[in-house]
Structure 1
């Protein structure tokens, strides 16, 4: 019998691209000789949980370099701003440095924002769903920098949903920050891969590098939300489906302790909905319960709803869950309504990057029919459909 104790073996920790950049001595000596921009927020940290803004600032300071010019996407550096809310310029409490918002209005001041920079570093966490705005902000920022001959360095991070694909690509006329990339709704790419894809036309204008992240190792214990409403890992798993409810009058339960892990609405038949979810082959289970809201527009109210969670096992198809939810609500909840878009039309068409999901549901198509159509169509080529995976 061996006396070797396997429990004494050091645990290999999953490294992000930021950890690999921090350890690159040659790169940092070069960066310290110039002026650097950094697009990030406090959810992007080293393996030791040091936010990128502080880790990069310390590294440059140790080499007598100039502090970085900080930039941030939706929700702000401290992740304190709500979804879709304007993010004002501010100051990073960890470094004391000014922070420039890139969420809304960046195109109007791009030359001022990038003036004098020699390189920009990008480190943000994505959640594997096309409408999540961080990657679009990062890609737009990177493209603008490269077009002005500014070096771009991306610190990659693992896609929490892995390589799974689900749903169709957007149509060109719906392109926006919510449908920025020509990829399936659940896209299966890392943020570095998305940025590389979007910046291909200008990638030769300046150096472009991606520091890779570990994708196969178990992440450290604990959870740092990538954005305010994704306060639990299960919320990321369910996000691709429940985000569709943001374009309706049904609550995905922002402003509660179960944000993106619950569904609620006045008059909802929660028991019937929970029973339906438990029958759908999407990998999720549900139970009915009362849900208390602490933020507007339902602050102080308790609504009947359901909480849901991923079943044990490797397969969870949140987009299929979302399509089933919409079909069930249209058929069984008399007060269901699509929310209007700010300009014209419907918000769901902008969020999903095309209008045929809404059109088919309004025409009475079942979730199974819609999902089957996505599987048999061809959505991998630009402008035409290709096969993606989803569960009916």
Structure 2
């Protein structure tokens, strides 16, 4: 064979081999670019399944636990659940508002006030002020409670704590509770340190991992079934299920679930970057890229080519490092996460010039669920070494979780 022909044949074989190898690899695409080759049935949230729950509400005096994500989707976009039920002649007597409020957008940690809904005249009772659990007198005169809030599947996201306290109140008052299920955008994995009993708070009331891989309806069943409500009580619970949902489903939230989770990237990074809430490092609050970047003025500027200045804005009236030049990393192009990553917290700690400024020890322990994680980072353990210490607890939780899963 002539040398030129031999050379061309060899190149062709190499190209074919390379193409074959590439075909065996899973291509990671940005979340916004993922397109399914086969049509996926559209997920139907439980609030849209009025035929399943409306008969349970007709002729009843109803209380609703809701926030801006509690909507029924329609051709015009969406209608708030409360407005939808009022239009269907359901007697809604009270609305219970969790963190961030009912229709408004209060800052994280900002107290929500009692009031009256301007659109319907229905009384609004705060569950994020002096009281976080409905008192028995507030349930008097109600025949049923409806709970409908979009969760993001992270233990320190406070809506599951509100769910638990409402279920306890309903169990004590013997008032039935209906949970309208919604997809969990982080429902495709279980990971992170498990909450220790001595560190429980409103940022984590049960011994579950940081990311627990359950919808809010499945989690309600777990609380009930495992006797994790106060004094082992069990609520009269009904979960209205989703349609066309699996735990692997990618769900793009049409409404931001809270002021500082504006898009898919922030939600997928939240389990990892949320740990910065227990530090003095800014995690994007005070910018338009909340939980998509991190930085601080006390981090080594020579280690980073990215910087930004947090300023007060929607959802963050007093962000950390306000008005200061923060040096850190931009993560706004990150793909969908399949695990909790410690790389960014560890990077920030390693490049903090005065490490005494880094941790807010009590806050970090409450977010992590354990004092051990801070100790491990300070001791210089690798991410793999730290994650190895999580595994026994994760496996134990997965066995419990399996009993309460509704979806594949």
- What residue number does 1:235 align with? 266
What TM-score do the two structures reach when normalised by structure 1? 0.79
Counterparts of 1:361-376 in structure 2 under 5 Å?
361-375=377-391
Q: Single out whichever of 250-259 and 359-368 deviates more from structure 2.
A: 359-368
Give the conservation status (yes or no) of the 8 Å contact 1:126–1:226.
yes
Q: How far off its partner does 1:330 sit? A: 2.3
Give deviations 1:12-35, integer Å, cap 9, x for gaps.
532111111x223xx434423121
Q: Could you say which residue in structure 2 is the equivalent of 1:4?
A: none
Which of the numbers 94, 103, 108 marks the counterpart of 1:69?
A: 94
The answer to whether the aligner puts 1:256 opposite 2:287 as a matched pair is yes
Count of residue pairs the alignment pairs up: 346
CA deviation map 1:164-219 (0-9, x unaligned): 01113211111111111322111101111112222333798663210112424665
SS at match of 2:192: coil
Return 140-149 or 299-308, whichever deviates more.
Answer: 299-308
Please tell me the root mean square deviation across aligned C-alpha atoms, in Å: 2.9
Please list, as runs of the form range in 1=range in 2, the aligned pairs for 1:271-286 lying within 5 A after superposition.
272=303
Of 26, 37, 46, the residue aligned with 2:63 is: 37
Answer yes or no: is the 8 Å Cα contact 1:237–1:310 preserved in 2: no
CA distance in 2, matches of 1:77, 1:110: 19
Query: Which region of structure 1 is more displaced relative to structure 2, 33-42 or 65-74?
Result: 65-74
Q: Which residue of 2 aligns with 1:349?
A: 365
Report if aligned partners of 1:157, 1:191 keep a CA contact under 8 Å in 2.
yes
Structure with higher Rg: it is: 2
In structure 1, how many angstroms separate the alpha carbons of the residues matched to 2:378 and 2:149?
37
How is 1:2-13 mapped onto 2 (pairs within 5 angstroms)?
A: 12-13=41-42
CA distances 1:83-127 after superposition (whole Å, capped 9, x unpaired) = 111111123344332211112443676112211111000000111
Q: TM-score, normalised by structure 2?
A: 0.76
Residues 1:360 and 1:171: Cα distance change in structure 2 (over 3 Å): same
CA contact (8 A) 2:295 2:307 kept: no
| Structure 2 counterpart of 1:276 | none
State the secondary structure of the residue aligned to 2:198. Answer: helix
Distance in 2 separating the partners of 1:139 and 1:206: 10
**Structure 2: which 5+ runs fail to align?**
1-38, 402-408
Gaps of 5+ in 1: 1-9, 274-286, 387-392
**Deviation digits for residues 263-292 of structure 1 (CA, Å, limit 9, x no counterpart):** 12114346735xxxxxxxxxxxxx724344
Matching of residue 114 in structure 1 with residue 139 in structure 2: yes
- Counterpart of 2:12 in structure 1 is none
